[in-house]
Structure 1
Amino acid sequence: MKPFAFSRADSLETAVEYRQAEPNSAFVAGGTTLLDLTKLDVMRPSRVIDINALPLEGIERLGDDRLRIGALVTNAELARHPAVREDYPLLARAILAGASTQVRNMATTAGNIMQRTRCPYFRDVAAACNKRQPGSGCDAIGGINRMHAVLGGSEACVAVHPSDMCVALAAIGTTLTLHGPQGEREIDFADFHRLPGTTPHLEHMLGDDELIVAITLDPPLRPLGTAYLKLRDRASYEFALASAGAMLSLDDGMIGEARLALGGVATRPWRCHEAEALLVGRRAEEAAFTQAADAALAEAQPLSHNAFKVVLARQAIVRALRDAREGHP
């Protein structure tokens, strides 16, 4: 591990100033991704800036019924908050499906959004990886790619986005508040994570001298049925092979509104807009769920070792929609 300097920021302005003064620096809160990657020599910050003293730990209901969540709220705190459990159960379930209790106690809301892929080629500095070293190639495409993406990939990168929480945020609808030298700006969560294209090293729309200060969830659907289904090689402490987050608002068995997002199969949190459009106005039954699953995966491009993910994701969608229907009040 390369040695680095360490600073503590006591204000947003100080944090930004530290970052501007040393572009090869990195912010740290829980550190559950940064420290791992620094030890592996994948990330080599010259300075680490501790932001835990910043006042970014609140959760508050806004006047328009949205919920604003501070960037430093831990995953454990977020999953057990009464407003989240009552109005956004999909988010609570997704968080609890990820990692261990110890990690959830440390990991923060913004850190979860910013976490980087678990692709073994990205984490192995001896392997070719365009995300880690632009222009070096992608060993995953011709290698062991069982865990890799079938949606959103490119000839330069097929690494999967690892977050469970972000699947729920994509389905719910979320706005990120960013802070930088020019003050605050907002960006839709759907626009935050980039597709890899030819520049997989550019993973998000955060500026070099910006940090996430809050996320704001869209008003909750009511009445609401939700489900989060995570399929993986083992029952706990494992990343998804395929996951599906579903939200349904029903009226006498008819779908008034639908939200659907996937994890474990795409290069970013994957919102399934075409599938949602097919569900609205339909009766909540198996035929509609199956057609929605087919639409969600119509553009899937499996690799040599992961064609099973298309079948697995289709099953996850149908089961999640069925569970959301059954859980509807």
Structure 2
Amino acid sequence: MFILFIWSGRFCYLYFIGNNRSFEWRVVNFDWINMAKIDNMLNIYIAVIGFISVYYAYILYFCNNNRVTQLIFLVLINGDQKFFINEKLLNQQKFVRQIRLWLNIYYQSFHLLYLVTYILAVIYEIQVMNFFMKNGYFSTCSGIISVITQSVQLIFVLIGSIILLDILFLFGSCFLSITMISFIKFEQIKKKCLKQNLKKSKIITKKFINEIRNRTIQMLLLTKSIDGTYGVLMFLFILTNGPINAYLTMIISIRTISFAERLLQQATIINQWSYIFVFHYIAIRFGHYLHLPSKYLINHYYKYSYLNCKINFRNRLQFSDWLEKFHTKQRYGLTYGRTNLITMTTFVRFILFYVKFTMIAYKLIRY
């Protein structure tokens, strides 16, 4: 966290002082944004990402001892299967193996970002050392000091970037884990409790009603905990990376830049959009799964309940009250920083805002 804080402060310093400096000063101090003749405001954007990553680290490492983290630990580390609906042990172990497989795929794909970062650092350093040799920096004492300063700056920026990627990987892996665990449980509720039980018996018993209701409420509380930690962190990610993504997209589309810069920006854009799209898809599915049992039982409850004498008037009222709370316009699910529920409509609005940011970026770059 301390390294990231200094790392972000460095980009703030470059924003306020680096715009009117010479090219040699920018090379020595690794001000690659101004060297590439990109808008100096991008330094502020990167600094903001660094400061938010400090907050990410604080939440993930010091304030993350909630039911979500405990569930991830129990299922993936301890192999505890009590959270899932009782099935054969072989099937439960299959769920854990599937989650670990997808986490490993995510881990391997994320390593491409590390590889791109190292490759770009090597390419940049080769170009800079060639520049130093042509301009005789190695022949004077002050020149050697400049070479050492540039190397230290590059190493520091590289270390900060790797730490930032580590935090992003930790956040992504935790969110992916709890999403897969939750979706497996949602599917079990849908298949085992709703479809199969109603096919076996056309009588909705009190035990069946309580089971569906309790499991749905359990998933609602888990979703609230997910939204309280990972939903807020993802909202901050979208809030800061959305405008940057639009700006970088316009740079790639309009300007002629070097291969290394294009590779860096394309990798950043793909990473940002993958997080944004996956999060919106997951958030929409959470809302769908939470309200699915109430919709299904509304369609079947009255059809079968008149044939069932075991459900008394009191239980009918309790069940109707539960259905009313879930079958409502005030839906449940993941939100944008605990403010607005994420739906397909809000996602379309986000895309419209993204297009607007893209148009603003186009004007900034062109004029």
TM-score (norm 2): 0.23
Structure with the bigger percentage of helix: 2
Greater Rg by CA: 2
TM-score normalised by structure 1 residue count = 0.25
The answer to which structure has the higher strand fraction is: 1
